[in-house]
Structure 1
Amino acid sequence: MIRQATNDDIEEIVQLWYQVNVTAHAFISEDYWKSHFDEVKKMLPLAEIIVYEQNGVITGFVGLNDTYISGIFVSSDVQSKGIGKQLLDYAKKIKSELSLNVYQKNERATHFYLREGFIIKSEDMDTDNNEKEYLMVWKK
């Protein structure tokens, strides 16, 4: 089931954020994610968070700040089962355009967004961790 997150979901969401980032971004030190944990936890209630819930457990979510996707996160044990696509499709239904940044080394995510109609608009450097990233955009 896809639904809007509530404040009661924040702890579960931030734990999922952390676990997925550590797994998907092995090229970035786990300490980087740990150092941002509390900051992200404080910022989550300010974003529009849409969750995918299965049997009472949040297994994925997308974070939106207006038309910017802060990220799509799906638990590693249920990845490649269409949850990320369902969350992205939901975001596409409620927004006429979307943008996001993705690390170039995260080839799996880059291919996913390209397959889903995003284009690479520009390349940049994430100065927090010296990793190259793409700015990707999608329009209806």
Structure 2
Amino acid sequence: MNLRKAEPKDKKNILEVTNLLYLDIPNFIWNTDEFVDRQIKNGEYFLAETEGKTVGIISFRQRKNKMYIKTLVVINDRQSEGVGTQLVEFAKKFTKEKGLNVLRACSFYEYKTVDFYLNQGFSLLEKPGIYEHHKYYRFEMRI
């Protein structure tokens, strides 16, 4: 698997993968042109590729002294093959390279990803987040 920084030419491909995340929530931004454009422009979007095909994506956003995983998606036919684990390992490295030691991730209840994040070494924060009346899990890892 090759991991590389996304470029503007990757936008269409990224949007196809992020559409796997779509939930019918007002103001759902993670699969919008604007969000993807901004993340690419800021150098915060990365693609995981195998044989030239995108198998996963991850994007970040730094807020104060913490790094946040904004998007993490593995295509359906490559789940449970370690792609997500490799993306989290990359996230740890990326966080350290930025001089930070706290990595956070959020996931809507509908995604059912608690076990994945706990298996990666994240702790589940006690208080859930709420976005447009939809609860999401909040995870944190010290690295």
The TM-score with structure 1 as length reference comes to: 0.81
Match of 1:112 in 2: 116
Contact kept? 2:123, 2:140, Cα under 8 Å: yes
Q: Which 4+ runs in 1 deviate beyond 3 A? A: 30-36
Give 2:33's match in structure 1, choosing from 19, 24, 38.
38
Letter in 1 for 2:10: D
Contact kept? 1:14, 1:40, Cα under 8 Å: no
Q: Does residue 1:4 correspond to 2:8, yes or no?
A: no
Match of 2:79 in 1: 79
Check 1:48–1:36 CA distance in 2 against 1; reply closer, same or farther (3 A cut).
closer
Unaligned runs of 5+ in 2: 96-100
Letter in 2 for 1:112: F
Check 1:31–1:79 CA distance in 2 against 1; reply closer, same or farther (3 A cut).
farther
Q: Does residue 1:54 correspond to 2:59, yes or no?
A: no
For the residue of structure 2 that corresponds to 1:105, the secondary structure is helix
Letter in 1 for 2:116: F
Contact kept? 1:21, 1:33, Cα under 8 Å: no
Give 1:102's match in structure 2, choosing from 107, 120, 124.
107
Give 2:61's match in structure 1, choosing from 49, 61, 65.
65
Contact kept? 2:105, 2:139, Cα under 8 Å: yes
Aligned residues between the structures: 131
1:16 positional shift: 0.7
Moved more, 46-55 or 86-95: 46-55
Identity of aligned residues (%): 24
1:35 positional shift: 9.9
Letter in 1 for 2:18: W
- Give the structure with the higher percent helix: 1
1:63 positional shift: 0.5
Alignment RMSD, CA only?
2.3
Contact kept? 2:18, 2:31, Cα under 8 Å: no
Letter in 1 for 2:90: Y
Check 1:61–1:34 CA distance in 2 against 1; reply closer, same or farther (3 A cut).
closer
